[in-house]
Chains A and B, each alone.
Chain A
């Protein structure tokens, strides 16, 4: 799995790839962290989160929104994301965890929100590719 920060006039875009849906979600989460901080230290405890949505794309949106929410209420930068995505009762569920680096330990910029603008989540020959624009 990997991510790249892509050019966007005012905001930041993340392009992520992964062998599975979970891997591409995690890579997008790591891209979100990289948009806020270049080199976070190896500190912080892991925490878990779970998100449920009506489609895979909506699930990606809600998962990234949840990371931003957890950042603000826990005062941590979520890094080293791990995600498993599964179908359940006609919906999609992401069971995830992240290492929360205390914001007091980093010099980080704020990403305000995830957007649907230009969002892509598509299956490729090697797995999955996602493209997400974040409001900065």
Chain B
């Protein structure tokens, strides 16, 4: 058997691009890493594997805890981590979802071509930067009061539709149609609402951005047609989440769970994995609050879409419908969802994995995706009708200097990854190191040489997000495609980028 030695962890090769850490000690199930050897070299450099192994200690993890090809060290659970945890016998863990609940990406199509945009890049990037709030303390597109925040938490994109910030077609092209009906705004802490009300419709900073891109390649032509993508076309990619509201929801539930479920916590190897047992009051409360924060993030991205359409209308002197600025799709990265999946069971009828599994059954799971994207294949009932014949769109943003990708949910995703794939390129260099190696102004100049126009609130953000700090997005996508969990449909390249 081929093995990969990563210090105190030995991985066994199951098949091409699938590596397994066998269950030992307190691990409930084995862990799997989906990666080529070159990606594994990067993944094994930090604490990603240790964090992945730790995640298998959570009660009720079924089949395997899985690290996607873009995985890297996070806090508690690695970024790029997926765990299907039994919704009856398991638990829900805020730290395994992440602070930025429903951090996600959406892509907006246009009928513009790169030729229409050339020569006007600076005008467009300036107009976007001036009109889309970003950075710290930049406010939001909507001056929200608590009633507004409550309505957003409750109804998600239904609220945006009622208020004129969305059209019905936007909802039809969003994961869960932009509303989690399990939301319970009353369970969202007051301090979270206080933080969120000034940030409704804002990018934030860090790795969040708005990017105008051109489609450079299409691969699966029938699917690209269904997505309305063709070479030379301009699209807009928006990457942000639930802002301070989501961060505060995670923080406060983490603390409440730490106090209420200390017994379970004492059996976990990392305090950041604190989890509420399925069926407990805190599990129900957190799920309601998390779903509300998910709604907030969808509205956040919708408001930025609305503002982006207005900016394009002004710059190109045509209404957005004429410019063809339809939402292609909106995917969430940091979420948990109750979904039904096939899990292994042993000869005693109890859940089992690997060689111990002699049969399978359907179970309801809290599928935790932290820095991972849902990737449902063609025919799945939860894929929007418009895409059901071809599979759910997946948007994989790369760095400012590299391409991004549009994939479609692959045939193997349900069996291999609880219907999930990667979410981006994945960092490989720390922010502190990046600021030593790069200077924001130089990075901007270099990118402009490649006809990529970047505007940011902070030069340090540009340095921290320099193209060289990310893994090779081409390799991440190659592995996803080869495993059949997310198939390559189109590639895009940046033209204008704004960030906090």
Q: Which residues of A contact B (CB under 8 A)?
A: 5-12, 36, 38, 54, 58, 61-62, 65, 68-69, 71-73, 75, 77, 102-104, 106-110, 112-119, 133, 135-136
Contacts and interface: CB of A to CB of B under 8 A. Distances in A.
B337 interface: no
A117 B268 CA distance: 12
A8 B73 contact: yes
Given A58-B258, A115-B95, A135-B98, 18 more contacts: A8-B431, A9-B73, A10-B72, A58-B255, A61-B255, A68-B244, A69-B244, A71-B136, A72-B195, A72-B244, A77-B136, A103-B137, A104-B137, A107-B135, A108-B135, A109-B460, A116-B271, A136-B206
B198 A75 contact: yes
B430 interface: yes
Most chain B beta carbons < 10 A, residue from A36, A61, A109: A109
A135 B247 contact: yes
Interface in B472-500: 500
Given A10-B427, A12-B431, A113-B247, A72 B198 contact: yes
A81 to B, nearest CB: 18
Contact of B76 (A5, A36, A115): A115
B206 A113 contact: no
B199 interface: yes
7 contacts: A7-B430, A7-B433, A38-B460, A73-B194, A73-B195, A107-B459, A109-B464
Nearest to A71: B136
Nearest to A8: B430
Number of chain B interface residues as a range: 35 or more
A57 B429 CA distance: 29
Interface in B130-162: 135-137
B272 A54 contact: no
Contacts of B100: 112, 135
A107 B457 contact: yes
**Which 6 A-B residue pairs are closest in the complex by CB-CB distance?**
A103-B137, A117-B75, A7-B430, A115-B75, A116-B271, A113-B99
A6 B431 CA distance: 9
Contacts of B457: 107
A11 B427 CA distance: 10
Contacts of B237: none
B74 interface: yes
A109 B206 contact: yes
Interface in B101-139: 135-137
A41 to B, nearest CB: 14
A69 B191 contact: yes
B461 interface: yes
Contacts of B432: 5-8, 12
Contacts of A68: 244, 247
B461 A113 contact: no
B73 A10 contact: yes
Given A103-B136, A107-B458, A54 B259 contact: yes
A3 B205 CA distance: 23
A113 B74 CA distance: 13
B46 interface: yes
A10 B259 CA distance: 28
Interface in B423-445: 427-433
A77 B95 CA distance: 26
B428 A9 contact: yes
Contacts of A108: 135-137, 458
A110 B461 CA distance: 10
A85 B361 CA distance: 54
A135 to B, nearest CB: 5
A110 B500 contact: yes
Residue of A38, A72, A114 most packed against chain B (CB within 10 A): A72
Given A12-B432, A75-B137, A108-B136, A115 B272 contact: yes
Contacts of B272: 115-117
Given A9-B46, A109-B206, A114 B251 contact: yes
B250 A113 contact: yes
B206 A110 contact: yes
Nearest to B77: A117
Contacts of A36: 136
B59 interface: no
B200 interface: no
A71 B244 CA distance: 10
A9 B204 CA distance: 20
A112 B206 contact: yes
Contact of B199 (A8, A9, A72): A72
B39 interface: no
A73 B137 CA distance: 9
A72 B191 CA distance: 10
A118 B74 CA distance: 11
Nearest to B241: A112
Contacts of A58: 255, 258
Contacts of B195: 69, 72-73
B380 to A, nearest CB: 31
Contacts of B206: 109-110, 112, 136
A117 to B, nearest CB: 3
Contacts of B254: 116
Contacts of B74: 10-11, 117
Most chain B CB within 10 A, of A6, A8, A102, is at A8
Most buried by A among B46, B250, B432: B432
